[in-house]
Structure 1
């Protein structure tokens, strides 16, 4: 993102504050218009000739660029570990963590550590968590119970 006087092109393809196309004009004229409207001249790409520029505030341009970057990033998988003998308060805390992660657009891997014959209890806890998280996410696959753990991945809806 290039702002104002750092734009070296002689002409720019200008878009107005409300998104209207103002056509191709000299950079000096576009800068004068930006100054008159009390906004910045923001060049979105230097790859074309003339480069496309917009009249907008620099803060809005940075925020828009940050949102684009966030959209282009692949979602991450974050793991939350539980135990089969979890208490109610701890369960609520883990549920809130999972909700917060799903709201940011990342996936959650819920893992319950098993020792002995706790497989059924672990599966019950995961089923309860899936019911509680249903408004924010859905399971990517079924609950896997194997050896020392039971797990399920929840992806945001």
Structure 2
């Protein structure tokens, strides 16, 4: 993402602070307008001619750059393993860990190892985790029970 004087194009297609189109104008004129309004001129794409640029408040430009970098990096999936006979304290610890991961923008995959007839207890535990984390994340699909494990993935909101 190019900002201010780093934009080398001769003219740009400018969008205002509130998203209103201001038309195609010389880059020097767009920079002067940005300085006058005490905002940044940010180029959103270099793939078209003239490149689309927009006026963004100084703090917003940094935030948008960080969000673009996070989107480019992609979302990671953190696996958290549990057992159906989990103690209350351990459950709360795993819950905090999952909430922290979801709030950082990554997904959480809960996996419960099953032995014998623990399938129902495992499913109940996963449903409890989903309801406890509904503010931080949403499940991508239903609970999968397969052979020796039960799992569910939560993506951040």
Q: TM-score range by the shorter chain?
A: 0.7 to 0.9
Instruction: From the superposition, tell whether residues 84 and 3 of structure 1 become closer, same or farther in structure 2 (CA, over 3 Å).
Output: closer
| Equivalent residue pairs, number | 150
Instruction: From the superposition, tell whether residues 47 and 111 of structure 1 become closer, same or farther in structure 2 (CA, over 3 Å).
Output: same
Alignment RMSD, CA only? 2.7
Q: CA deviation at 1:126?
A: 4.5
Instruction: From the superposition, tell whether residues 107 and 81 of structure 1 become closer, same or farther in structure 2 (CA, over 3 Å).
Output: closer
Instruction: From the superposition, tell whether residues 44 and 74 of structure 1 become closer, same or farther in structure 2 (CA, over 3 Å).
Output: closer
In structure 2, list runs of 5 or more residues that go unmatched.
Answer: none
Output the TM-score relative to the length of structure 2: 0.75
Q: CA deviation at 1:7?
A: 1.5
Q: Which residue of 2 aligns with 1:111?
A: 112
| Native 8 Å contact 1:14 1:21 kept in 2 | yes
Instruction: From the superposition, tell whether residues 84 and 17 of structure 1 become closer, same or farther in structure 2 (CA, over 3 Å).
Output: closer
Q: CA deviation at 1:72?
A: 5.7
Instruction: From the superposition, tell whether residues 119 and 110 of structure 1 become closer, same or farther in structure 2 (CA, over 3 Å).
Output: same
Q: Which residue of 1 aligns with 2:76?
A: 76
Q: Which residue of 2 aligns with 1:129?
A: 126
Q: CA deviation at 1:51?
A: 1.4
Instruction: State the distance in 1 between where 2:116 and 2:100 align.
Output: 27
Q: CA deviation at 1:33?
A: 0.9
Output the TM-score relative to the length of structure 1: 0.75
In structure 1, list runs of 5 or more residues that go unmatched.
Answer: none
Q: Which residue of 1 aligns with 2:56?
A: 56
Instruction: Tell me the SS of whatever aligns to 1:18.
Output: coil
